[in-house]
Amino acid sequence: MDDWSGAGVVALGVVATAASVVHYLRETAELGSVVGPTIALALNGGLAAGIVGAGWRLRRSELSANERRRVARWAVTGLVVSVGTVATTYLVQIYEGQTVIEPTFQLLIVGEAGTLAATLAGYYAAQSAMTARRFEAVFDNTYQFTGMMAPDGTVIEVNETAQSFVGVDYSAIVGEKLWETYFFRTGPETRETAREAVDRASDGEFFRDQIRIRGDDRDAIVDFSVRPVLDDAGDVQLLIPEGRDITALERRTEHLDVLHRFLRHNVRNKLSVVRGYAERLHETVPDPDRRAHARRVRDSADDLASATALVNELSNAVVDDVDTEPTDVTSVLDEAVESADVPAERVRRLTEWTADTVEVTAGDRLSLSVRLVVDSLLDDGGDGTVAVDLRRADDHVDVEFQCEGCDVAPSELSALEDAEARSQTQHPDGVGLWFAKSVVEGYGGTADYRYTGDDPLIRLRLRTVTAAAAPSPQPDATTTESDPSPPEPSLD
């Protein structure tokens, strides 16, 4: 903002003020009267003060340096044109032998008025140009299809992304009804959806649906919406149609659905067959070594079945929308602890929480997440235990799992760290911890861990219902696999 433009306009106003004061002091002395020159000075001084104020406003504006210099040139041009016009009329009057009355007064008034008017015109022209550039930057430099329509559905404008996708000229889209454009020629149902969108948006409603549109070389599935733009009186002035290409997302979702079915039926059925034959061999084969082999096959089939069920849950958590509702975390903990796939004596409460109800923002996957944390920490074949504690604060609740003598690999705990470390997690238990972290973060909470001595402590932080609108808390305790015993940070 340190350029000459604003200061230059201020200087014009100061010079005009000084010229007015000098002129009217001299005129007062010549006329011997104060009233007339004072009124004229007030008029000139008001215009000059306006020029000073405009220059100060220009200096502090959001306009770029080039735009401010352009406004200053407008001001100088206004001064030159206005003064030149008055001077030309004087020359004509002198040439015709007429008497020029109060030439200095007229030059000052017209010059100041022309300068102020030109400064304001230049400022608003520059501001309009800046707004137009910002609009174009948002409108055209985007990955989604965007346009503008009249309330009757006539297309007024369409961005470059949409034009490139459809492969037709700008003139072939603008001026047409939305449902008659090339985009919606995939079928009568799509055109009817576009009509409905325009009708509802023109009544002031927001419309959103998923449709298939036609492009130059492919069709696309888009998240289609039309929103109304209202004036100050609440009347619809414009409609904004938008479309986000979600074809790749829909294909991934379809692939996940196929994977779900394959895991639920094919893999699970085959595992049931394997387990059945292994169980039969275990019961009928007399050789102890072969019975041991059969038992190992049976146990492995059970592990694979559990892993398959977990992968199904993970896929659902990724695909499905997160639904939250007030959830009694104490009831969830009771249910999860009792249903954990470990002996009851290996899980204990540090505090009794059943007497009180503590509502958090969560959903039906919270219980499974808690159970997976417990199972992951205790599925080591040892005799370690997990102490579950509930810590309450004004805006959140911490569910803490303190391991005591558990053999938990750092690679499994890495599931609670960043995505790069998480991608190295191959063991199903590590995936279970990732699932818990993903679910809790979907509820607006956090999941992290630290070491207390040689044992890890995992914390799930959930927002209380009264704090549901507050920003999500940030993790403040993490570790790395290369340093299994870092300094102990505070969890509170």
Contact status, residue 71 vs residue 115, Cβ threshold 8 Å: no
**pLDDT per position as a tens digit, 182-229:** 899 888 999 999 999 999 999 999 999 999 998 888 888 999 999 999
CATH number, domain 142-245: 3.30.450.20
When comparing pLDDT for 419 and 95, which is higher? 95
323-467 belongs to CATH 1.20.140.10 = no
Instruction: Please name the residue that has the structure tokens 């201020």.
Output: 10
- Mind giving me the DSSP string for 198-265? HHHHHTT--EEEEEEEE-SS-EEEEEEEEEEEE-TTS-EEEEEEEEEE-HHHHHHHHHHHHHHHIIII
- Rounded (10°) angle between helices 35-59 and 4-31: 180
DSSP code, position 466 = G
Q: Is the pLDDT of residue 481 over 70?
A: no
Q: What's the pLDDT at 318?
A: 56
Which range, of 10-24, 276-290, 390-404, 463-477, averages the lowest pLDDT? 463-477
pLDDT bin (cut points 50, 70, 90) of residue 471 is very low
Contact status, residue 207 vs residue 200, Cβ threshold 8 Å: yes
**pLDDT per position as a tens digit, 158-187:** 988 888 888 888 888 999 999 999 899 888
Most confident of 222-226, 286-290, 304-308: 222-226
Domain ranges in the chain are 4-139, 142-245, 252-318, 323-467
The SS3 assignment for 158 reads strand
**pLDDT per position as a tens digit, 391-424:** 888 889 999 999 888 888 777 787 787 655 444 4
Question: What is this structure's pTM?
Answer: 0.53
Contact status, residue 399 vs residue 460, Cβ threshold 8 Å: yes
**pLDDT per position as a tens digit, 106-134:** 888 899 999 999 999 999 998 888 887 87
Q: What's the pLDDT at 133?
A: 80
CA angle 466/416/442 to nearest 5° reads 35
Q: How many CB atoms lie within 10 A of CB 484?
A: 14
Q: What is the mean pLDDT of residues 244-252?
A: 86
